[in-house]
Amino acid sequence: MNGEKTKEAGESKVPVSFIEQIIIDDLREGKNNGRIHTRFPPEPNGYLHIGHAKAICLDFGMAEKYGGRCNLRFDDTNPVKEEVEYIDSIKEDIHWLGFDWDNREYYASDYFGKLFDFAVDLIKKGLAYVDDQPSDIIAEQKGTPTQAGTESPFIRRSVQENLDLFYRMNEGEFEEGSRVLRARIDMSSPNMHMRDPIIYRIIKTPHHRTGNSWNVYPMYDFAHGQCDYFEGITHSLCTLEFEIHRPLYDWFIDQLMTSAYRPRQIEFNRLNLTYTVMSKRRLLELVRDGKVKGWDDPRMPTLCGLRRRGYTPESVRKFIDLIGYTKVEAINDVSLLEHAVREDLNLKAPRVFGVLDPLRVVITNYPADKVEEMEIINNPEDESMGSRMVPFSKEIYIERDDFMENPPHKFFRLAPGSEVRLKGAYIIRCESFKKNPESGIIEEVYCTYDPETKSGKHLSAKKVKGTLHWVSAQHAIDAEVRLYDRLFSHEDPSGQKDRDYREFLNPDSLKVLKNCKLEPSLGSARPYDKFQFQRLGYFCTDPDSTPARPVFNRTVSLRDTWARMVSKKQE
């Protein structure tokens, strides 16, 4: 019965966000002639981070899903903060995520002429005036959220004088800060943004696209809605902090519109992630102060950082999908992001052997000059990925913590007298070991192997609890492996009153291992190639890698129940 009901509904019951619901309703009602047109409007003043990915997935995703279009529009109204170098990286990151804007690449600066004309128009209507006061006086007259503002003494300037002054502002006659153009709305509005907002200011810094053509530049509020209007945007999706700007957004379009069409601004919650910071200002500080190695440091929440860390675009999109869009300001757990990348890489990443902290094991009854090629499955999740040959010989490396002289209860790995399977090879038994009498460090472990237990031989009835990864000592390649931990030790580093977020920087967020031993097939890995180092985690070849010196980044570890058990016991 229930099945019937669902069937009749026609669509699966996948919940949609409130924004998607609005779009569905608009489409059904035939609003905007059944068009959906969105835009993604980054300011080219920094690199995109995962918070932008959330907006990108919505803007492009909704358009894609409902047969519409999404424009890429650079919000370049402030030449002081913006640079061309960011534009290319932004485009690259959007493409990396798997979205495209065709030929619809626009700039707010494309509309400077139209915006200027519109400002002139407002002046002529008596709805804008030039104010000669300095910024601190203007701010003072704005009042406070609980107290009405007072009118500027320049509010009653004649249209002629305003026009004359505004043109001369643009001609470069006046200094920066000496005059602004303000919209005349309501100095006693309960909404601060409606108290005669500044719409044009004088800036003499050359613009990265328009050069010295302009000396006045529109403010965000005077550009955004109008650009949406010019481009025929139907749904202008932005984050919650712009909610309070919406009346202003609508007010300007009211003055401009000549038909029933008008874009609609809808706000959603911005992405916050635990153990990191997301504001461009702070990310920039981390880069400038050398707290990280650059915008693409694998610890950064930037898209280029995540990419270098080994995240796939699919995993980022999956995560975005998981958290959804609401109006609740929340902080999302990074572990969900990590889950998303594990799930994706589990299907895609070939399994390989890599020993991060090598301990030499000598198989005493194995011929010294013998080398066997062991066939190892590349990915048990995907047969089509085939198998490869891995050399096995008398001396191998295993992970140092896979051996314990005095193992605790339920330790399934190697210990004196115990047996383990070497994945894809033989079962070995630990007979003895060599320990440095001074340091107490185990230097070598001596084992015997059972030739009857070779992998693939089904006659091997012997069962052991533990299976270890290994690398043949004479064939191993040396590599550097970089392990990453959370950049901050606090869940919400920038949300602590009276504490600077930098106080919470995790000093151990990067650990570099220089003496790792990897199976020889990894010698041909190329930057951004992804692997699962069996039993350890997912790793990605770093662009610093050279054939002589491979470098790998750990994207994320595998879930480790043993480690959890151990750490619990310690508590």
Q: Which is nearer to RNA, 241 or 478 (CB)?
A: 241
Q: Tell me how far, at minimum, the Cβ of 463 lies from RNA, in Å.
A: 6
CB 397 within 8 Å of CB 473 = yes
C-beta of 156: minimal distance to RNA in Å? 19
- Residues 223 and 117: their CA atoms lie apart, in Å, by 12
> Which residue, 264 or 421, is less far from RNA as judged by CB?
421
Residue among 280, 351, 423, 554 flagged as catalytic: 280
Nearer to RNA, 29 or 369 (CB): 29
Nearest CB to RNA, comparing residues 297 and 301: 301
The nearest distance, CB 287 to RNA, in angstroms, is 18
The one-letter amino acid code at 152 reads S
Q: Which of 193, 121, 181 is nearest to 155 (CA)?
A: 181
Residue 45 Cβ vs RNA, minimum distance, rounded to whole Å = 7
Q: How large is the angle between the packed helices 50-65 and 313-323, nearest 10 degrees?
A: 80
Residue 109 and residue 207 in contact, taking contact as beta carbons nearer than 8 Å: yes
Residue 116 or residue 297: which is nearer to RNA going by CB?
Answer: 116
Closer to RNA by Cβ: residue 43 or 480? 43
Unique residue bearing structure tokens 């107290």 = 147
CB of 269 to RNA, least distance (A): 6
Spell out the residues 6+ positions from residue 460 whose beta carbon is closer than 8 angstroms to its own. Answer: 427, 452, 453, 454
Cα gap 293→15, rounded to integer Å: 41
Q: In the bound complex, what is the minimum distance in angstroms from residue 526's beta carbon to RNA?
A: 22
Q: What is the nearest approach in angstroms of RNA to the Cβ of residue 551?
A: 22
* Tokens linked to 5: 């009901």
Gap between the Cα atoms of 200 and 96, Å rounded: 36
Locate 506 and state its tokens: 């995790």
In angstroms, rounded to a whole number, what is the distance separating the alpha carbons of residues 319 and 336?
A: 7
Q: Give dist(CA 444, CA 359) in Å, integer.
A: 7
Give yes or no: 280 in active site.
yes
Rounded-to-integer distance, Cα 131 and Cα 161, Å: 11
43 is catalytic: yes
CA angle 257, 263, 265 (to 5 degrees): 130
Strand partners, 396: 361, 472
Cβ-based nearer residue to RNA, 205 or 436:
205
493 φ, ψ (degrees, to nearest 5): -60, -30
Q: Which is nearer to RNA, 505 or 558 (CB)?
A: 558
Of 546, 385, 393, 386, the residue nearest 476 (C-alpha): 393
CA 431 to chain centre: 49
Question: How many Å apart are CA 403 and CA 419, to the nearest integer?
Answer: 11
- Candidates 434, 289, 252; CA nearest to 360 is 434
303: nearest Cα among 291, 290, 315: 315
Catalytic, 281? Answer no
On the CB side of 367, CA atoms within 13 Å amount to: 5
Q: Give me the least distance between CB of 255 and RNA, in Å please.
A: 19
- Name the catalytic one among 20, 43, 64, 395: 43
Q: What is the CA radius of gyration of the chain?
A: 31
Least distance CB 510 / RNA (angstroms): 19
Give min distance, CB of 333 to RNA, in A: 4
Q: Which is nearer to RNA, 313 or 537 (CB)?
A: 537
* Sheet strands side by side (includes 180-183): 128-131, 180-183, 198-202, 216-218
Q: Which two tokens stand for residue 122?
A: 């407002």
Catalytic residue chosen out of the listed positions 270, 282, 429, 454:
270
Smaller CB separation from RNA, 357 or 544: 357
Distances (CA, A) of 452 to 212, 432, 455, 460, 469: 81, 22, 9, 6, 19
**Closest residue by Cα to residue 93 from 63, 58, 50:** 50
Q: Which residues are catalytic?
A: 43, 270, 280
